[in-house]
Amino acid sequence: MENSNNFSVIYSFKIHSEFEHEFIESWKELTNLIYKFEGSFGSRLQKVDSNLFLGYALWPNEKTFDQASDNENIEIELIKEKQKNML
């Protein structure tokens, strides 16, 4: 893994408090699927405040990240849709 070509993405999420545990678990599941099928190097999720989370995803390069969003993986899309309902 050569650091000079890596591409990072930072996300922020404000979660409804009743979905916190479910969101964290879905983040882990989504990260594993994206790592396995899309070529990411993984991600981390940090709780910043009571309902605020920051996510950090690392990719080999920007091209791999862009191509991943073009792929249609039904499992990944279902988790993303589920997460939208928790925001």
Q: How would you write 50-82 as a 3-class SS string?
A: CCEEEEEEEECCHHHHHHHHHCCCHHHHHHHHH
Pick from 37, 3, 6, 15: nearest CA to 85: 15
CATH number of the domain encompassing residue 60: 3.30.70.100
Could you list the residue range(s) of the whole structural domain that residue 7 is in? 3-84
The pLDDT of residue 29: 95
If one counts the domains in the chain, the total is 1
The pLDDT of residue 32: 94
pLDDT in tens, 71-81: 777 888 888 88
The pLDDT of residue 18: 94
Cα 54 from chain centre: 10
The pLDDT of residue 69: 74
pLDDT in tens, 13-65: 999 999 999 999 999 999 999 999 999 999 999 999 999 999 999 999 999 99
Q: How far apart are CA 8 and CA 34, in angstroms?
A: 14
Contact between 45 and 55 under an 8 Å Cβ cutoff? The reply is yes
